[in-house]
Amino acid sequence: MSTNEFDVPGAPSALTPEKSEPTTGPVPRLTKEDQSGPDRISPTGGADGDRRQQGETLTTAQGARLGDTDHSLKAGPRGPVLLQDHHFREKITHFDHERIPERVVHARGAAAHGVFRANGAAENITSAAFLRKDVETPVFVRFSTVLGSRGSADTVRDTRGFATKFYTDEGTFDLVGNNIPVFFIQDAIKFPDIIHAGKPHPDREIPQAQSAHDTFWDFVTLHTEATAHTMWNMSDRGIPRSYRMMEGFGVHTFRLVDGDGKTNLVKFHWKPRLGVHSLVWEEAQIAAGVDPDFHRRDLADAIESGAYPEWTLGVQVFPDTPEQEFEGIDLLDPTKFVPEELAPVQPIGVMTLTSNPTNFFAETEQVAFHPGHLVPGIDVTDDPLLQGRLFSYLDTQLSRLGGPNFGQLPINRPHAPVNDMLRDGMHQTAVHDGVAPYKPNSLDGGCPFTAAPGAGFVDVPVPIESTTKQRTKPSSFDDHFSQARLFYASLSEVEQQHLAAAYSFELGKCYEQPIKERALEVLARVDATLCEQVAASLGLPVPSVDDAESDRPAPSAALSQIGQEWPVEGRNVAVVVDEGTSADSLDAALEALGGHGIVPLVTAPHGGKLALGDSTVTVSRTYDTARSIEFDAVVALTTESDARVARLLDEAFRHGKAIGADQAGAASLSPADREKPGVHVDDDVREVAGRVVELLRSHRVWQR
Ligand code: HDE
């Protein structure tokens, strides 16, 4: 046989690739560096770079170069396909298994990387090193809705998850909270009940990501400890404007322990720098259709534009007494919060989100939070909800991430040295050395050693009262209404109207009359006016309830979202133009808005570039795509009337947004709207932009 018989005409030689391979993987973005632990301490025994795609040539999973991935291997050009086609089978098999089970709750989420910088204020109450002054700790934060599936809309009415992973030098600390400080249930054993009630009905699997249906309202009206949480859900908190504008709460009471073993009880709070703001219900509904990814996009866009979201972490501190109660509030009852008037939130550090994930699946989907990821200086309490969560979060990852080694996934890897004795199992990627993963041992020199006294995690030796085993709860958990009443009484009038409208909508979507009647009985125990409003909407009589309280409690100011002013950085403002708009006016508007860190979005009749006299401007949004939901305010500099602009302005007006216009642009507003609060018309465009910025500080113009 001559060597020529092996030549394949026209094919490049496998030994002389056309392009030389780069010797390193892609250069990581600076902000991503912290994601991977240093090699020497990595439990997986390799740098993240090893796992990145390398080279420029397409290969099999085993690294063999491929010349064709578009055609399967066939017996002749017209088939059949041969079983021998290893590339086809590898490609399709991998594809067939691309999906993992979505989270049973909080399936829909968005996440970002950032950094937490402590101010040192907590140094005297905890030994946690990441809370020492000026210590910076990388974080990964995932926000989520609770009920919907992975592909559901962002803006549905729901509680939002706010889970933070602190990659501290002493191990990973997860603060797995919500944007609502109270929970539906007091005991973890009820979690499957509330979730089964909230998820779509098992027969038709509808509705998706909604609480407006019979089973949800059936449960929360029978199980009245859910009343306070349901009130928060039906309030504007249930439809946040942005993840950047949500508070976060640890919900449970935690125990901090200092170097001397002294303890305090705390509740964690995240306070957003931009303030707490919400959508209005119509916006939430429009967004669910027009832009189901509204919150996900908002978070990513803000970070990309440099408007880094920021929160202050604060704690309410309570003495660790045997009763574990404060001012009559049982600190172990997760359906209760402590009003800030009684215990101020003391800032202990600031978190800034600075970069978006590189790969959604690898990071946002595979991140595994767990309230049991604790570091020395932070311990749990006996809150029965928290106790149950300490079991659930590890357990769920076994089916979601396929085994016990999910901690080795890059996003879950601690940034502290890991030296455990956990071995083998599905998806083990570490190459452990040594022969003695047991203690005591002599073969590995006794290694790993236990931490010196006081240097490791402290399980606070809390005394346990002499008692009997029982399936029960303390009588201090019996009050189901006082905090719902406090919450309602603390809302401004417009927020109370929104809440009544939400109850009316949700209960109006229920079919079962007895459920609606029971809901009214619950509301009668919260507030008579609220009950009357909802009853009127449902067309049902107001129930008479013997034990209803008639006095409204004194309001707690921190519970209302309205009445303050906030920074405007990172807010979106549409600057609406057409071919006749003067380039000078547009420049003036862009400059004035941009000077405040606002993101001005030029909105024009068509995409691409728009010629304005001698200059051209790049268009951000077109009349066809622009809806009010996307903008926090609108500035109209148009010269021609257009129905789409009129709709945009009409929506912005209805949604309480600041509107500015020059005289020509104001023609797109209805004459009546022009005279209303929050609408500023002037040919001095700088003045118009300035007024819009001022109005934006209060988020909405509620006086309309
Ligand atoms: Fe969760 N919860 N939860 N939860 N939770 C999960 O863990 C659970 C509760 C919260 O972005 C699951 O990894 C039980 C309270 C957030 O990945 C699961 C109980 C609070 C996230 C689970 C609760 C939360 C979860 C599903 C009652 C606020 C998303 C997937 C005892 C303080 C984390 C997963 C992320 C996720 C169980 C109650 C917040 C099944 C049993 C209270 C933010 O383990």
For residues 499 and 612, membership in a common domain is answered with no
pLDDT digits (tens, 9 = 90+) for 455-479: 899 999 999 989 999 999 999 999 9
What average pLDDT does the chain have?
92
493 alpha carbon – ligand 1 mean position (Å): 33
What single-letter amino acid sits at 345?
Answer: V
Q: Among 100, 102, 105, which is best to mutate for testing ligand 1, by the most ligand atoms less than 8 A from CB?
A: 105
Specify the residue for token string 């051209």: 616
Give me the CATH number covering residue 510.
1.20.1370.20
Q: What is the pLDDT at residue 14?
A: 38
Query: In this structure, are 404 and 319 located in the same domain?
Result: yes
For residue 700, CA distances in Å to 173, 180, 276, 597, 686 come to 37, 22, 12, 18, 20
Report the alpha-carbon distance of residue 632 to residue 698 in Å, rounded.
11
CA distances from 156 to 106, 200, 238, 239, 488 (A): 13, 14, 8, 7, 21
From the alpha carbon of 106, which atom of ligand 1 is closest?
A: 29
Kindly give the number of the ligand 1 atom that is closest to the alpha carbon of 111: 11
The encoded tokens of residue 317 equal 């501190």
Phi, psi of 449 (to 5 degrees): -90, 150
Task: Give the distance from CA 104 to its chain's centroid.
Answer: 16
**Cα separation, 82 vs 90, whole angstroms:** 13
The last residue of one of the domains, among 387, 412, 437, is: 412
Cβ of 163 less than 6 Å from ligand 1: yes
Same domain, 605 and 692: yes
Assigned domain for 6 exists: no
Tell me what pLDDT residue 6 has.
56
Same-domain check for residues 226 and 311: yes
Determine whether the shortest distance from the Cβ of 229 to ligand 1 is under 6 A: no
Residues 529 and 634 placed together within one structural domain of the fold: no
Assess if residue 520 is contained within a domain: yes
* pLDDT in the model for residue 5: 52
Residues 169 and 305 in one domain: yes
Answer yes or no: do 537 and 686 share one domain.
no
- Does any domain span residue 454? no
According to the model, what pLDDT value does residue 4 have? 45
pLDDT confidence of residue 23: 36
Within a domain: residue 96?
Answer: no
* Total count of domains within the chain: 3
Q: Is 177 in the pocket of ligand 1 (CB under 6 A)?
A: yes
Give the pLDDT of residue 54. 86
Please choose from 392, 394, 399 the residue to mutate so as to test ligand 1's pocket, defined by most ligand atoms within 8 A of CB: 392
Instruction: Say whether both 505 and 581 belong to one domain.
Output: no
The pLDDT of residue 41: 34
pTM for this entry: 0.92
Residue at 286 is within a domain = yes
Question: Which of the residues in the chain have pLDDT under 70?
Answer: 1-51
Q: Does one domain contain both 582 and 523?
A: no
Structure token pair of residue 548 = 């209803």
Domain encompassing residue 136: 109-412
Q: Is residue 21 part of a domain?
A: no
* C-beta of 144 in contact with ligand 1 (< 6 A): yes
- In this structure, are residues 357 and 135 in contact, taking their beta carbons and an 8 Å threshold? no
pLDDT value of residue 549: 87
Q: Considering the domain boundaries, does residue 205 fall inside one?
A: yes
CATH code where residue 232 lies: 2.40.180.10
pLDDT at position 20, please? Answer: 37
578 and 511, same structural domain? no
In single-letter form, the type of residue at position 574 comes to A
Return all residues near 340 (Cβ < 8 A) that are at least 6 apart. 316, 556, 557, 558
Measured by CA distance, the residue closest to atom 7 of ligand 1 is 393
* Cβ-defined contacts of 647-650 (< 8 Å, 24+): 648/574, 648/576, 648/603, 648/623, 649/673
pLDDT value of position 40: 33
Cβ–ligand 1 distance for 652 under 6 Å, the answer no
pLDDT at 547: 84
In the 8-state DSSP scheme, what is residue 225? G
For residues 494 and 563, give the distance between their C-alpha atoms in angstroms, rounded to a whole number: 11
- Nearest C-alpha to atom 42 of ligand 1 is from which residue? 183
The rounded Å distance from CA 371 to ligand 1 centre is 9
Question: Cβ-count burial of 220 within 10 angstroms (0-12 exposed, 13-18 middle, 19+ buried)?
Answer: buried
427 vs 183, 401, 406, 407, CA distance in Å?
35, 9, 8, 10
Angle of helix 482-490 versus helix 227-234 axis, rounded to 10 = 20
Question: Cα angle at 675 between 673 and 678, to 5 degrees?
Answer: 80
In the chain, what's the furthest Cα-to-Cα distance? 103
Domain boundary among 412, 443, 464: 412
The DSSP element (H or E) to which 577 belongs, if any, is none
Catalytic residues: 106, 178
Domain check: are 516 and 652 in the same one? no
Do 312 and 208 lie in a common domain? yes
Pick the closest to residue 518 from 228, 223, 233, 221 (CA basis): 221
Last residue of a domain, one of 368, 393, 412: 412
ipTM confidence: 0.98
Which atom of ligand 1 is nearest to 395's Cα?
44
In a domain, 31, yes or no: no
